Amino acid sequence: MRAHHVIGKMSPGDFERVFGKLNEESPESIQGATLAAAQILKFRPKFLLKQPPAKRISSIKGALSRVTGNQISEELLAVYFLKCRLALLEEWLDLLGLEHEEGILTQDELPCPEGGELEQKVGLFRGGEADEDRELLMRVFASQPAIDWPALEALLGDD
């Protein structure tokens, strides 16, 4: 699964929630995503910006769900977890035993834990404090180009 798939599978409400948090914490990333979405959709940026907020967000989600929106999707989701949900990201990385500095991986090789161990860690993470972003974080993690963990994708039920 790639980042544009992750965004494509998000419910409109979840995408709007993520979009809103990003708009508060990193308005420059929203501006960049909006301009990229306009280009992907072959819209003039002004046209997209003049749409009512719900329609604009829906249009941006649609653009970022396309293969051509994958790079901006990766960036937007990374910014979301690094700026808006850093504590949750660090919880996940620490649970996996991956070295990182403020959520940014520092290891060159990222070995997948063995099947049973990975299943246990995913279960522990899912069982943590109620948080609507736990599943999203694992999907975003699995969608990174540096992560080739088919076992994780299987646990997440991704195609």
Task: Read off the pLDDT of residues 39-79 as tens digits, 9 standing for 90 and up.
Answer: 999 999 899 889 999 999 999 999 999 999 999 999 999 99
Cα–Cα nearest to 4, from 64, 60, 52, 87: 64
CB neighbourhood size of 78 (10 A): 17
Per-residue tens of pLDDT for the chain, all 159 residues: 899 999 999 999 999 999 999 999 999 999 999 999 999 999 998 998 899 999 999 999 999 999 999 999 999 999 999 999 999 999 999 999 888 898 888 888 888 888 689 999 999 999 888 788 999 999 999 998 888 888 888 888 855
**Confidence at residue 158, expressed as pLDDT on a 0 to 100 scale:** 59
User: How does DSSP assign 14-70, residue by residue?
Assistant: HHHHHHHHHHHH-HHHHHHHHHHHHHHHT--HHHHHHS-HHHHHHHHHHHHTSGGGH
- Domain locations in the chain as residue ranges: 3-84, 86-156
> Looking at the whole model, is its pTM more than 0.85?
yes
Task: Report how far residue 102's alpha carbon sits from residue 77's, in angstroms, rounded to the nearest whole number.
Answer: 16
- pLDDT value of position 131: 83
Sequence-distant (≥ 6) Cβ neighbours of residue 39 within 8 angstroms: none
**Cβ partners under 8 Å of residue 14, min gap 6:** 132, 136
